[in-house]
Structure 1
Amino acid sequence: MTQNGIIFDIDGTLWDASEPVAAAWNEVLALQTDTAGLQIPPEQMRSLMGKTAAEIYRVLFPGLSEERRSKIGELCSKHTNGYLQEHLGTLYPQVKETLRKLSRDFRLFVVSNCQADYLEILLDRCALRGFFTDAECYGRTLKSKGENIRLLLDRNNLEKAVYVGDTQLDFDSAKYAGIPFLHAAYGFGSIKEEVPAIQAFSELPVAVSKIF
């Protein structure tokens, strides 16, 4: 089997779940006395997705203690997992078809800053698990995205790999792990440096062939 791999971010790369995630969080926040007046619009949630849970809590609940932030965040995350079972995020166009094509020549992986249950929902409810050799996330390891990319590279004996993501953090993480980066420019973020980019997921086979 080939030792060349493509590693994917989730939010802003494979799907957009900002609307159902924001809706799920808002249902929880409305029931808490210290966040009852707080509502998170999908646009704000979109700007936060890709960060670790602790980072998101600090941005959204700056006036609360760290213990209280974590408690509310845990409630939101738990409710989100159930909510997403009925209100899935939206896969970007041609994701399944393109993954099927790529899997003929490359081993495919996922590394995200999400929680473990969130990763499982994407893989199972969107019927993507069969395309991927391995996956890792912050929720399992409590490691940074760069560290998780490195972990995945090592345990799968990958000789060459590229990370596909949409934010500056994704770029920085790929750089930390020592692998090339491909910007999903249709996603949530921008990159400060000039990097190879795709405007649609279906452009991946051609873009990846240039990198390898």
Structure 2
Amino acid sequence: MDSIIFDLDGTLWDSREQVVEAWNKAIGKSEFPIEKVEKADLTRTMGLVIPEIARVLFPQLTEREQKQLMDACGIEELALLKEKGAVLYDGLEEVLRALSNTYKLFIVSNCRDGYIEAFFHSHGLSHYFTDYENPGRTGLPKGENIKLIVKRNGLQAPLYVGDTIGDQKAAHHAGVRFAYASYGFGQSDHHDYKLTTFKDLLQFA
């Protein structure tokens, strides 16, 4: 193993409370007669890309309206997360520091452009990571974004760490091993490693 690629939500942090706050602020400002979202709504859509989340949560809106609302939600979301951050999993920086002594670290997440940067900015963690990617920048699914990271950084034996079956499938699509973060939001039925806490990654340090 020469590198570790991380998912973000449910793997490195839990931003549900902050995202709910931001999205409901945007919904309150919008012209659409829809109910506010709840934390459970975000939990059940974790791992989906933004257009898929919009279709699940706002099926009564047209595709154009969904995009309009999600763009507004994104503005509020990124501003709040950049300023306040979110809940980091226990021991996160300690583990990243230890791992970065041996491996190159990366992030590939199904998020909007600017979301990973907000994570970096709010918690001062960018120096631990060599590169990152998301569909907000590339328009590509997670498996292809993992391949991009592998190719442009010349990785030989990466490990992908994520918390959903979508992460599992993306890792397998990219031909990399998968560590299941069972403390996160989703499930996995086929993984190389199972992590019960983020600190379990210290086994690789």
TM-score range, shorter chain: over 0.9
Greater CA drift, 109-118 or 172-181: 109-118
Preserved contact between residue 30 and residue 38 of structure 1 (Cα < 8 Å)? no
Preserved contact between residue 23 and residue 76 of structure 2 (Cα < 8 Å)? yes
In the other structure, the counterpart of 2:52 is 55
Deviations 1:51-95 (A, max 9, x none): 111111111111111011100110001111112233321100001
Mapping of residues 15-54 of structure 1, within 5 Å:
15-35=13-33, 37-54=34-51
Deviations 1:72-123 (A, max 9, x none): 1100011111122333211000010000000111110000011121110101
C-alpha distance in structure 1 between counterparts of 2:70 and 2:184, whole Å: 24
In the other structure, the counterpart of 2:130 is 133
C-alpha distance in structure 1 between counterparts of 2:27 and 2:121, whole Å: 28
Cα distance change on mapping 1:5 and 1:119 into 2, 3 Å:
same
C-alpha distance in structure 2 between counterparts of 1:118 and 1:20, whole Å: 12
Residue aligned with 1:30, SS: helix
C-alpha distance in structure 2 between counterparts of 1:168 and 1:154, whole Å: 23
1:169 to 141, 159, 166: 166
Letter in 1 for 2:92: V
Greater CA drift, 177-186 or 115-124: 115-124
Normalized against structure 2, the TM-score is what?
0.95
Q: Does 1:153 align with 2:150?
A: yes
> Following TM superposition, by how much is the alpha carbon of 1:193 offset from its aligned partner in structure 2, in angstroms?
3.1
Letter in 1 for 2:23: W
Percent of pairs identical after alignment?
Answer: 38
C-alpha distance in structure 2 between counterparts of 1:94 and 1:5, whole Å: 19
C-alpha distance in structure 2 between counterparts of 1:133 and 1:88, whole Å: 21
Q: Over aligned residues, Cα RMSD in angstroms?
A: 1.4
In the other structure, the counterpart of 2:96 is 99
Normalized against structure 1, the TM-score is what?
0.92
1:179 to 176, 181, 202: 176
2:201 to 199, 204, 209: 204
Cα distance change on mapping 1:98 and 1:168 into 2, 3 Å:
same
Q: Does 1:13 align with 2:11?
A: yes
C-alpha distance in structure 2 between counterparts of 1:109 and 1:193, whole Å: 22
Letter in 2 for 1:118: Y
Residue aligned with 2:8, SS: coil
Q: Which runs of 5+ in 2 are unaligned?
A: none
C-alpha distance in structure 1 between counterparts of 2:21 and 2:10, whole Å: 18
Greater CA drift, 38-47 or 102-111: 38-47
Letter in 2 for 1:25: W
Aligned residues: 205
